[in-house]
Amino acid sequence: MSLQLGQIVPDFEAQTTIGPIHFHQWLGDSWGVLFSHPKDYTPVCTTELGEAARLKPEFDRRGVKIIGLSVDTLERHGGWEADIEETQGQAVNFPMIADTDRKVSEAYGMIHPLADPTVTVRTVYVIDPNKKLRLSLTYPPSTGRNFLEILRVIDSLQLTDRQKVATPVNWQPGERAIILPSLSDADAKTRFPQGWETKKPYLRYVTISE
């Protein structure tokens, strides 16, 4: 059964490349990104892990911990990480879970029998500090993940958690947001004294300086 948005994600204990972890405890008060790989030594995932490691300072800046997962062993993880550093020019600088018994994969719905019952599909889970699932993405084997898009979604989630706004199509940090329809104009004047542009009663654009 797949996880649904707003659910508290399953807790687990696992062996990782930084030692054993208790997942919820490891996350602490941070946001988290858990992303899975079908198995080690796969070409698309090799490029993804290099890019995730390269962008780790951006995740750190947003208070986000990242962690990968594969059903292979820690020994194979170590060999794969050496290949990643050699081919991508970036050492892996975050933990990788060795989910050899597939307990985590099954708890998170990463095993799709019609795809391949022996390995995980390539999923991404964004988890907030309350351990609730805020985003899930599943990618086909042939298409590399866009980690800049994952960062963009986290920026949107963190902004909309702080303010009574949503973010429009293709939004980027610094661009206008949309005032939630549930917020009356009277309440919006208090919350957004800088004013806003009304296109329709339900579509009000506001610029937020943070």
Active site residues: 45
Handedness of CA 9, 12, 17, 18 (dihedral sign): positive
Cβ atoms of 50 and 82 closer than 8 Å? no
* Beta-carbon contacts of residue 191 (< 8 Å; ≥ 6 apart): 163, 164, 183
d(C-alpha 88, C-alpha 94), whole Å: 15
| Distance from C-alpha of 185 to C-alpha of 204, rounded to nearest angstrom | 10
* 99: number of Cβ within 10 Å: 24
